[in-house]
Amino acid sequence: MNTFGRIFRVNIFGESHGTGVGVVLDGVPAGLPLKFSDFESDLGRRRAGAKGTTPRKEADLPKLMNGVFNNHTTGAPLVIQFENTNTRSKDYDKLREMPRPGHADFVATKKFGGFEDYRGGGHFSARITLGLVGAGVIAKKLIAPVGIEAKLIEAGGNKDIEAAIDKAVEEQDSIGGIIECRVINLPVGLGEPYFDSLESSLAHMMFAIPAVKGIEFGSGFQAAKMKGSQHNDNILSMDGKTETNHAGGINGGISNGNDLVFRIAIKPTSSISKEQKTLNVKTGKIDILRVEGRHDLCVALRAPVIVEAATAVVLADFMLLEQNIKRVIQ
């Protein structure tokens, strides 16, 4: 399935080299002001261009197809589409024989019987996250004054991001990174114990972002090494503010009135130009692969805005459920 959410529902679709990608949003409250330029900033942050990102350039202009009228949301399904314009599909024919190590090529063919659109990664391409960023723009507006900021705090094991990128470019090898996301002004009470915990939903959503391999809240893996007397956050005031924030803003699956803080691990891009060994599925023998095509050396550079969008989408859904957001924005 490609749908997420209970009230604010996101449905993404598209392929890297087909006509385009997009998103259907269901359950968006009516009356939210929305115009083309609202998307500029976040789409710009996701766009390639900086050192370490793919040479494939796309304008990524959002078309608001449905659900918007007189510059406001209507309450009907909201559809945003993005055209694909800059595609070079011939690079990908060779990969049919030689699935890339670390990539979805092999599982895609197994799962979809060889019928998948393999050009540019098809539906597996990170380009599909464009729809998520579009959804995030709307979700961020809905949840205000809740604020979200995600940033890359480490790349290739290095806190100096710029130096790490330079080294990757030099070595022509990809690198991963760690993104930290912080949410402020969140109301107390979002989430439930167990299956609808705020952590469950956020983690579910974050692993929908390609290349994410880990998530931790508050002190996270470090908490496993702590004692209760160190980890417990002393409560200081009636609005739930605590002395420390080892819990990352969530107790018992529920937001506790402190900043929500989590980190995610992004693996290095699997498509690298260095030579690699892999199976040739035609010959059944191990062969040498050198991946063509245009790829990010550090996809983590473009991911913070995707993480923010994903977070906003989850929070919009919870806040509608908890009636922190009305069904019509007046």
Of the listed pieces 44-52, 53-61, 140-148, 269-277, which binds its own copies according to CB under 8 A? 269-277
Residues 95-114 contacting its own copies, CB under 8 A: 99-104, 106-108, 110-113
C-alpha closest to that of 260 among 126, 147, 161: 147
Q: And the tokens for 49?
A: 């261009």
138 binds its own copies (CB under 8 A): no
220 binds its own copies (CB under 8 A): yes
| Smallest distance, its own copies to C-beta of residue 22, A | 7
- Listed in sequence order, the residues at least 6 apart from 218 whose beta carbon sits closer than 8 Å to its beta carbon are 245, 246, 247, 248, 249, 250, 261, 262
Among 52, 62, 248, 304, binds its own copies (CB under 8 A): 248
147 binds its own copies (CB under 8 A): no
Q: Which is nearer to its own copies, 296 or 308 (CB)?
A: 296
Collapsing DSSP states into helix, strand and coil, what is residue 69? strand
Q: Which is nearer to its own copies, 41 or 151 (CB)?
A: 151
Computed on alpha carbons and rounded to an integer, the radius of gyration of the chain in Å comes to 21
Task: For residue 19, give the amino acid letter.
Answer: T
**Contact of 144 with 124, CB cutoff 8 Å:** no
Q: And the tokens for 89?
A: 């599909």
- Listed in sequence order, the residues at least 6 apart from 268 whose beta carbon sits closer than 8 Å to its beta carbon are 156, 173, 174, 175, 176, 298
Is the C-alpha dihedral spanning 178, 299, 45, 120 positive or negative?
Answer: negative
| H-run or E-run covering 43 | helix 40-46
- Measured between alpha carbons, how far is 35 from 72 in angstroms, rounded to an integer? 8
Q: Tell me the per-residue interface mask from 7 to 46 with its own copies, x by CB under 8 A, - otherwise.
A: x-xxxxxxx--xxxxx-x-xx--xx---------------
Of the listed pieces 45-53, 88-96, 138-146, 259-267, which binds its own copies according to CB under 8 A? 259-267
294 binds its own copies (CB under 8 A): no
206 binds its own copies (CB under 8 A): yes
Among 87, 89, 232, 245, binds its own copies (CB under 8 A): 232
Residues 42-71 contacting its own copies, CB under 8 A: 63, 65-67, 69-70
283 binds its own copies (CB under 8 A): no
89 binds its own copies (CB under 8 A): no
4 binds its own copies (CB under 8 A): yes
